[in-house]
């Protein structure tokens, strides 16, 4: 697509004119982005509500704007330190000299943004990329057209000649991923992640893939479910479960299943009584995804599963794509609920006899983006950390690790490649250039052919003696 190539070429020309923005320029860009984001906050919140069909201003501010501003502020405070050359050790064999590493911008980088958090998952990677001194092209999701317009205005007003926003369908996204970026970051499904990586490989473009998968939540035998219910329900119903790190299934001691179900039901109703549910609970993004979730439940019911909706939904609410927390017991392990990432407020429950059985259950599945453990037993906490793999872990909490700027965020294996946030984001979008520097004195000349026999061969024999 010619317009994509033209956009890329325009940014590449701008990068070549200024391949290393200084600290002050980068800080000015971050400050301009922050100012535009807050100035256009009302329009952004209205657009998010419209694109989702229903999403409260409180939810959008908490899950999208607050972490975006936090990311900018974190980088502003630490960017000077990140830009300083890092001193490295020099072996005595090469003295006098000095070694250091400088972090250089990569060039023009691409960011492919999903629909579920269109603001934070645009601005988070963007902040990392411009902190590292790059030019940026962002491909936004076609499912959030009104939000895209506000974001485009924010980004291109704050960052002229630095960032460009691209819109379009899957065909545009495919062509976007084929551009010769210096780095490409994609957030979305694992299935599309394969396609993005395949397209990027034609240009040897390195990729960061933030995917997802089925993130387990383990309730240990010692956990107090009454105390932890708020955290579990929040983690599963924030953005109506349309979160890549939302708990995807629940592992509970068999004897505690009924108590757990009852407590989670009650907690959901405390969060969202009928009036609150209708007015502020987030809707499923579109009819296709709503029907996908309903099909999962229909299949599970037909196979004998027990489906428990935490709230009776009216026909009008169904038309609005409002879907309460729905717990599913005894769904066959070969059903879609156990095979596919759910990405909605449906939570399958599996009862285990021993913690070893629970860990084995997790170990047999592809490595997830997140893992959640509820337990106060420090030995068990260490056991789970050591015997399972996940992109990130929360102990006695859900979701919140993804909002920690000083922790890397990323998956492992099928749940992703690479990481960003905070310093890791700066490093992802930088090249660590190794520099070895000498002055006039050159002790290395003893290694040159004409001098070797005099001293260097004797030194080699000494250093490499048995």
Residue 283, phi then psi, degrees to nearest 5: -85, 160
The residue with tokens 């911008």 is 105
Largest distance between two CA atoms of the chain: 93
Beta bridge partners of residue 123, listed in sequence order: none
**What are the E-state strand segments in 140-283?**
163-166, 183-187, 207-210, 216-219, 249-253
Beta bridge partners of residue 370, listed in sequence order: 392
260 carries an active-site annotation = no
Please tell me the distance from the alpha carbon of residue 234 to that of residue 7, in angstroms, as a whole number: 41
Residue 2, phi then psi, degrees to nearest 5: -65, -40
C-beta separation of 224 from 313 below 8 A: no
394 carries an active-site annotation = no
Active-site residue identified among 59, 64, 210, 405: 210
Please tell me the distance from the alpha carbon of residue 357 to that of residue 334, in angstroms, as a whole number: 18
**How do the residues of the chain divide into helix, strand and coil, expressed in percent and rounded to 5?**
50, 15, 30
The radius of gyration of the chain's CA atoms, rounded to the nearest angstrom, is 26
Please tell me the distance from the alpha carbon of residue 444 to that of residue 129, in angstroms, as a whole number: 39
Active-site residue identified among 59, 244, 394, 424: 244
Nearest to 188 by CA among 322, 8, 343, 335: 343
Catalytic center residues: 210, 244
């Amino acid at each position: 697509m010619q317009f994509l190539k033209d956009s890329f070429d325009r940014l590449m020309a701008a990068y070549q004119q200024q391949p290393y923005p200084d600290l002050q320029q980068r800080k000015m860009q971050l400050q301009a982005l922050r100012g535009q984001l807050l100035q256009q906050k009302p329009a952004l919140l209205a657009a998010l509500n419209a694109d989702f069909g229903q999403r409260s201003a409180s939810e959008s501010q908490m899950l999208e704007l607050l972490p975006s501003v936090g990311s900018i502020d974190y980088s502003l405070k630490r960017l000077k330190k990140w830009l300083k050359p890092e001193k490295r050790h020099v072996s005595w064999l090469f003295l006098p000299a000095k070694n250091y590493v400088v972090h250089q911008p990569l060039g023009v980088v691409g960011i492919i943004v999903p629909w579920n958090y269109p603001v934070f998952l645009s601005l988070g990677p963007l902040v990392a990329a411009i902190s590292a001194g790059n030019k940026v092209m962002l491909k936004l999701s076609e499912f959030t057209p009104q939000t895209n317009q506000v974001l485009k205005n924010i980004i291109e007003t704050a960052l002229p000649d630095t960032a460009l926003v691209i819109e379009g369908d899957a065909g545009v996204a495919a062509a976007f991923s084929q551009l010769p970026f210096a780095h490409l970051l994609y957030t979305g499904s694992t299935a599309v992640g394969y396609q993005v990586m395949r397209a990027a490989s034609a240009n040897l473009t390195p990729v960061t893939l933030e995917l997802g998968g089925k993130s387990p939540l383990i309730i240990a035998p010692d956990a107090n479910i009454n105390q932890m219910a708020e955290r579990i329900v929040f983690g599963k119903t924030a953005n109506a479960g349309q979160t890549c790190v939302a708990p995807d299934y629940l592992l509970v001691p068999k004897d505690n299943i009924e108590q757990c179900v009852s407590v989670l039901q009650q907690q959901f109703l405390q969060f969202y009584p009928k009036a609150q549910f209708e007015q502020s609970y987030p809707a499923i993004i579109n009819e296709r995804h709503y029907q996908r979730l309903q099909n999962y439940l229909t299949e599970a019911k037909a196979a004998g599963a027990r489906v428990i909706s935490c709230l009776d939904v009216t026909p009008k609410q169904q038309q609005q794509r409002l879907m309460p927390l729905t717990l599913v017991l005894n769904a066959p392990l070969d059903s879609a609920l156990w095979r596919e990432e759910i990405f909605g407020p449906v939570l399958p429950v599996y009862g285990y006899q021993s913690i070893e059985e629970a860990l084995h259950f997790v170990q047999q599945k592809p490595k997830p983006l997140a893992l959640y453990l509820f337990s106060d037993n420090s030995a068990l906490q260490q056991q789970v950390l050591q015997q399972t793999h996940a992109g990130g872990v929360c102990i006695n909490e859900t979701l919140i690790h993804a909002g920690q700027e000083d922790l890397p965020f990323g998956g492992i294996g099928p749940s992703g490649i690479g990481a960003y946030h905070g310093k890791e984001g700066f490093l992802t979008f930088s090249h660590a250039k190794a520099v070895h520097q000498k002055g006039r004195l050159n002790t290395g000349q003893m290694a040159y052919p004409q001098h070797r026999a005099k001293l260097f061969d004797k030194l080699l024999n000494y250093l490499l003696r048995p």
